[in-house]
Structure 1
Amino acid sequence: MKMRNGEGTTMGDMVAGMDEQAKLERVYAYPFGDIYNNYLAKVQRKGHSRDDLDDVLGWFTGLGPTELAAAADSDKTLREFFDGIDLNPNADLITGKVCGVRVEEVEDELMRKIRQMDLIVDEFARGKKISSIKRG
């Protein structure tokens, strides 16, 4: 049974929206260092090095290896990590799917950045050339 509040919005829709926002906030609160270490393990299993991972992430974020290591060693959340970073101007050229979601269609800006980062690391781990990953 749908119940409407005074604004004409169903309560179920409001709760679903809160649940979705709560899910996003949970992702945003995830430590960047944990993500970075997962990425590193993934690419090393595929025979790649930390330097190569840092090269790909550095292209995306504009951060050097020292800055990436410092962020990974800090307690920064994904939200804090991306706050204040100017992504590569060609980051908008990153297209494709991560977990069945087209990254270019993700409306939430922070989630789109996270998905883009996931996608380029996935591409790298699968053996795509770094020159192709670095769009433009």
Structure 2
Amino acid sequence: MKDTAHHDERIARMSFASVYPHYVTKVVKKGRTEDELLEVISWLTGYSSEEIQRHIEGKTTFEQFFAEAKMNEYAHLITGVICGYRVEGITNPLTLNVRYLDKLVDELAKGKAMGKILRKPKEA
């Protein structure tokens, strides 16, 4: 696997507020709503809509955003390729969390059912 240290550092410094409008544009353009986007972000991070808004207004970096998050216990079920990287192969925890979020936003924009986006383990 190629060295992604520079890429990981860039992601850590990027502000959540700078990327959030792009997420909104992407999902709304495909017929989804900002409320659905907030639901997806809340599922992944444990943040309420108000807490997400606080991070946007505070221009929180992705590093800060995910440091305070209570990641969903089923986030590890998010798999596939996003931004040219296989999610399962990402070793940097912060980059992995950001790519989890990117993958969920992508699935939402592609029209995937909310029940499938918000992963749950298969019943035994």
TM-score (norm 2): 0.90
Moved over 6 A (4+): none
Of 75, 98, 101, the match for 2:85: 101
Q: Which residue of the partner structure matches residue 43 of structure 2?
A: 59
Is the Cα contact below 8 Å between 2:46 and 2:72 reproduced in 1?
A: yes
Q: Aligned partners of 2:55 and 2:25: how far apart in 1?
A: 17
Kindly provide the amino acid, as one letter, of the partner of residue 43 in structure 1.
V
Q: Which residue of the partner structure matches residue 9 of structure 1?
A: none
* 1:40-63 CA distance string (max 9 Å, x none): 111111121111100111111111
Q: Aligned partners of 2:99 and 2:117: how far apart in 1?
A: 14
Kindly provide the amino acid, as one letter, of the partner of residue 116 in structure 2.
S
The offset of 1:24, in angstroms, is: 1.7
Kindly provide the amino acid, as one letter, of the partner of residue 55 in structure 2.
A
The offset of 1:69, in angstroms, is: 1.2
Q: SS of the counterpart of 2:74?
A: helix
Q: Which residue of the partner structure matches residue 106 of structure 2?
A: 122
The offset of 1:34, in angstroms, is: 1.2
Q: Aligned partners of 1:99 and 1:50: how far apart in 2?
A: 22
Gaps of 5+ in 1: 1-15
The offset of 1:84, in angstroms, is: 2.3
Q: Aligned partners of 2:87 and 2:62: how far apart in 1?
A: 17
Structure ranking higher on relative contact order (CA contacts 8 Å, 6+ apart): 2
Q: Which residue of the partner structure matches residue 13 of structure 1?
A: none
Q: Is 1:37 the counterpart of 2:21 in the alignment?
A: yes
Q: Which residue of the partner structure matches residue 133 of structure 1?
A: 117
Kindly provide the amino acid, as one letter, of the partner of residue 98 in structure 2.
I
Q: Aligned partners of 2:60 and 2:30: how far apart in 1?
A: 27
Larger radius of gyration: 1
Q: Is 1:50 the counterpart of 2:34 in the alignment?
A: yes
Gaps of 5+ in 2: none
